[in-house]
Structure 1
Amino acid sequence: MTNERRVLLHQNKQALAGSVAARFLTNMVDVLAKQDEAHVVLTGGSVGIAVLAAINESAARDTIDWSRVNFWWGDERWVPRADAERNELQARDALLDHIDVPPGNIHAFGASDDPAEAGVDPLDAAAARYSAELLAHAPEGAQYPRFDVTLLGVGPDGHIASLFPHRSGIRERDASVVTVRDSPKPPSDRLSLTRPVLNSSDRVWLVLAGSDKASALGLALAGASRDEVPAAGIKGRYRTMFFVDSDAAAQVPENLIAPAY
């Protein structure tokens, strides 16, 4: 299999979410036919959660043996565990609470109201715990699992996960998890996987909808630096796909777009 980078155009956000959901389910069937378990990285945001809801609503949902699928997150907001802004809570509401996935297969980041460790900064401690959990599920000699699919949203500024332009997080090479403080997008404190972890995935799927994403997408595909547009520095091991609606694709050259409807 060779590395590919493709842009798939959809008429609107609903069609985009349905397309990603259908492709995800098909991919999980293929992955689980070849290996014992799968590792998936989830994203938050309105489009990312819409994809999870579309998976839940699909007639093919229960063709997957969810007991063999592990779910991780690309990033998380440092808020209480029951906060509606938390990516984990939104993912549970949209999909995870509706499928037969063991609790141990859901690898959520820590929350701001988790019990604190004496003398340790809570955000730093949460990053260390998630790094340790990644390591515990990694192949021998690796720091993190071999991810099969990583879903990512892209912000209007080109950020992915909680790796923002011109911040140290996008340049981190050694750590698997970084803390984010004074984020340009609220809430100010966050946790995020780093670029090497995201790029370790066999397939990276970036999902974008809306005209406010057009500039970031255009710059990412035009070869902008990862410091300026973090999405430009993301590339799956085998395949990188941009699932976009017509508004987000406004600044993408036509020769890069493959219609998906």
Structure 2
Amino acid sequence: MAEHSWEKRVVVEVDPATLAGSVAARFVHRVHKRTSAGKTVHISLTGGSMGSAVLAAAAHDPRTAQIDWSRVHFWWSDERFVPAGDADRNDGQSRAALLDSIDIPAANIHSAAASDEGIELDAAALRYGQELAEFGSDEQLWPSFDICFLGVGPDGHVASLFPDRREILIVDQAVVGVRNSPKPPPERVTMTRPVINSSKRVWLVLTGADKAAALGLALAGASYASVPAAGAKGRLRTVFFVDQAAAGQVPPELIDGEY
């Protein structure tokens, strides 16, 4: 299968635990390969149970201890605008799963502001966009992520880009505030589609039969405005990593047994 961003691969594993281990092994391999070659690596993380499960599996990979983490920068495609230390914070979940156990400079972990830091939601989004811009280029005001992890909701949302809302259509800002989110908590900050889609690799990780319909629509080319997962595309690869329960509506010809 040729490498084109518009070709979406589907990799199926038997259950969530096996899936987390499989994705983690690929993640660790990619980061180890890039850093060993002296490259700086930017990774965009996601929240949710599978986002944490992948990082927890990576923490137990023997190669993780061999990585020069000073060359790696972590970001989040979205964050819940709640107080620091709140269990809903994506960064807290990621730190507990992996980041607190690796030797990485604090400055390489780029968290969005919390709601108790004396900053309003829109200002928090603007600040995160400005931090992204510090690692951008002449072509774009943000880094190009080697891997952008995304979860997918039953409604097809990715990051905090929900169906049929204004945020999914924004292309002139890197990060925006979200109010009255259809999924609690109500206030969030999220990267926009241009930032996500400038990633080299977009890896969407989803499990469960309740995600099968969203996955089917994303693969069928549904409108990204109504099914945001359909509009998430990496420049080199776009891969849906799923368990068998979520793969119930995937045509056999779309399943990649070799990747």
Fold match (TM-score > 0.5): yes
Other-structure match for 1:94? 97
Residue 142 of structure 1, CA deviation: 2.1
Distance of aligned partners of 1:212 and 1:32 in 2 relative to their CA distance in 1, 3 Å threshold: same
Residue aligning to 2:56: 53
Matches within 5 A, 1:30-109: 30-109=33-112
Match of 2:187 in 1: 189
Identify unmatched segments of 5+ residues in structure 1.
117-121
- Alignment partners' CA distance in 1, 2:206 and 2:43: 19
In the TM superposition, what is the alpha-carbon distance from 1:146 to its structure 2 partner?
1.5
Residue 115 of structure 1 deviates from its aligned partner by 2.4
Check if 1:7 corresponds to 2:5: no
- Among the aligned pairs, what percent are the same residue? 56
- Cα RMSD of the aligned pairs, angstroms, is 1.4
Counterpart Cα distance in 2 of 1:154 and 1:142 = 26
Please report how far the alpha carbon of residue 135 of structure 1 lies from its aligned counterpart in structure 2 after TM superposition.
0.5
Give 1:119's aligned residue.
Answer: none
The residue number in structure 2 matching 1:22 is: 25
Kept in 1: contact 2:151–2:205 (CA 8 A): yes
Displaced runs of 4 or more, over 3 A: none
1:195-234 to 2 correspondences below 5 Å: 195-234=193-232
After superposition, the Cα gap between the structure-2 partners of 1:103 and 1:140, relative to the gap in structure 1 and judged at 3 Å, is same
SS of alignment partner, residue 198 of structure 1:
helix
Question: Deviation string for 1:124-150 (max 9, x for gaps)?
Answer: 110110011000111234210111100
Aligned to 2:256, the other structure's residue is in SS state: strand
Aligned mates of 2:97, 2:31 — CA distance in 1: 18
Which whole-Å CA distance do the structure 2 matches of 1:220 and 1:107 have between them?
A: 29
Matches of 1:202 and 1:152, distance apart in 2: 13
Q: Secondary structure at the match of 1:215?
A: helix
CA 1:236–1:35 in structure 2 vs 1: closer, same or farther (change >3 Å)? farther
Q: Given the alignment, which residue of 116, 122, 125 partners 1:124?
A: 122
Kept in 2: contact 1:139–1:146 (CA 8 A): no
One-letter code of the match for 1:80? Answer: P
Aligned pair count reads 256
For residue 138 of structure 2, the aligned residue among 119, 122, 140 is 140
Quick check: 1:160–1:231 contact (8 Å CA) kept in 2?
A: yes
Which shows bigger deviation, 130-139 or 158-167?
130-139
CA deviation string 1:81-115 (max 9, x = no partner): 11011001000000000000100000001100012
CA positional deviation for 1:170: 0.7
Matched residue type, 2:239: M
